[in-house]
Amino acid sequence: MLNPTRVRQNSITLLKMLLGFSLSFGQEPDYASLRQQMVSEQLEGRDIYSRSTLEAMKAVPRHLFVPKAQRPFAYVDGPLPIGHKQTISQPYIVAFMTQALRLKKTDKVLEVGTGSGYQAAVLAKIVDSVFTIEIVEPLGLQAKKRLAQLGYNTVTVRVGDGYHGWPEKAPFDAIMVTAGAESLPQPLVDQLAEGARMVIPIGPHGGIRQLVLVQKKKGKIKTTELMSVRFVPFTRKN
């Protein structure tokens, strides 16, 4: 025989379950914990030890730099599409390149390849001033707007070909190129200050490149290969 009290209780439980389901369905993921988890597993769990790099990676809301549809995946261990055939690098690569620059707070940094603006925001958490150049105009304009809205007012974005660097703002204490080049652009080498560092992926388009650390010491250039990487190509305006 059916027990009416039992039936009512069961339907209340069912209702609660449905409500719970629909609430959790509409809810945004807990991005702060996903970010913390990304830092401890993907960065500290590997070879990222620089305190300032780890703090910056903990602070910058990566999910706000990717297209809405990509947000739930913002903290996964890989690159993501940001439109215009470009990608935002894997969190580990962002951290590795940042750490390799051995930044001081007072450093003036140039980034070539603004993309979403995420890497520039990470740099801005560490140093006083960041200059960044993007060749794809809509990406550059969007990053500029996004960085301003999120309060990164020490980042200056410019649309143009980063091959030429930013002579009016040179020399730089550090330069980061986030697109894969086939060779080392001389204007960028020329814009390194004494003692400055540059990281740049170099190698054939479409293939595996080497992430190279370039150091200027007593006017001389020393290059060191750090690791193999894949990057979207460094392009040139014709």
Inter-residue contact 27 to 5 (CB < 8 Å): no
Ranges within 62-101 binding ligand SAH (CB under 6 A): 82, 86-89
How do strand 80-83 and strand 86-88 relate by DSSP bridges? antiparallel
54 or 95, CB closer to ligand SAH?
A: 95
CA pair distance 154, 138, nearest whole angstrom: 21
List the one residue from 60, 133, 200, 212 that touches ligand SAH (CB under 6 A). Answer: 133
131: nearest Cα among 154, 150, 149: 154
Phi, psi torsion values for 163, nearest 5 degrees: -55, -35
Which single residue is written with the structure tokens 């069961």? Answer: 10
User: Residue 234 interacts with ligand SAH (CB under 6 A)?
Assistant: yes
For position 113 contacting ligand SAH by CB under 6 A, the verdict is yes
Work out which of 146, 161, 193, 215 binds ligand SAH, going by CB under 6 A: 161
Of these residues, 40, 89, 116, 129, which one is catalytic? 89
Catalytic site includes residue 116: no
195 near 217, Cβ under 8 Å? yes
Choosing from 38, 43, 115, 211, the residue that interacts with ligand SAH (CB under 6 A) is 115
CB of 139 or CB of 198, closer to ligand SAH = 139
